[in-house]
Amino acid sequence: KVKELQQFKKETITVNTSLEAKNRELEKMGKEANAAKATLEEKVKELQQFKKETITVNTSLEAKNRELEKMGKEANAAKATLEEKVKELQQFK
């Protein structure tokens, strides 16, 4: 009986040692996973900020394009008016 109990004690110690090693390994993996999560969360924040800035720039560029298109139309209208005036003046000449 004593031998059985001694054997059981040895096996229990072996199992406990193995479980403690596994726990340390899992704790290390948990820390690494948390560090990776923090890094990814930071990257997500950076990308969200970049997206906001990109939307702002795009909106600004679209407004500028509309303004330039309007100026182009006005310039074309002024050109047409000037060409008409030139024709009138050439006829007068």
Q: pLDDT by residue for the chain (93 residues), tens digit each?
A: 999 999 999 999 999 999 999 999 999 999 999 999 999 999 999 999 999 999 999 999 999 999 999 999 999 999 999 999 999 999 987
pLDDT value of position 92: 82
* Helices vs. strands in the chain: H and E counts, helices first: 1, 0
| Single pTM value for the model | 0.60
How many domains does one find in the chain? 1
Which range of residues forms the domain containing residue 54? 1-93
- State the Cα angle at 64 between 71 and 66, rounded to 5°: 55
Instruction: Give the whole-angstrom CA distance, residue 52 versus residue 36.
Output: 24
CA–CA gap between residue 35 and residue 29 (Å, rounded): 10
Cα separation, 18 vs 21, in Å, equals 5
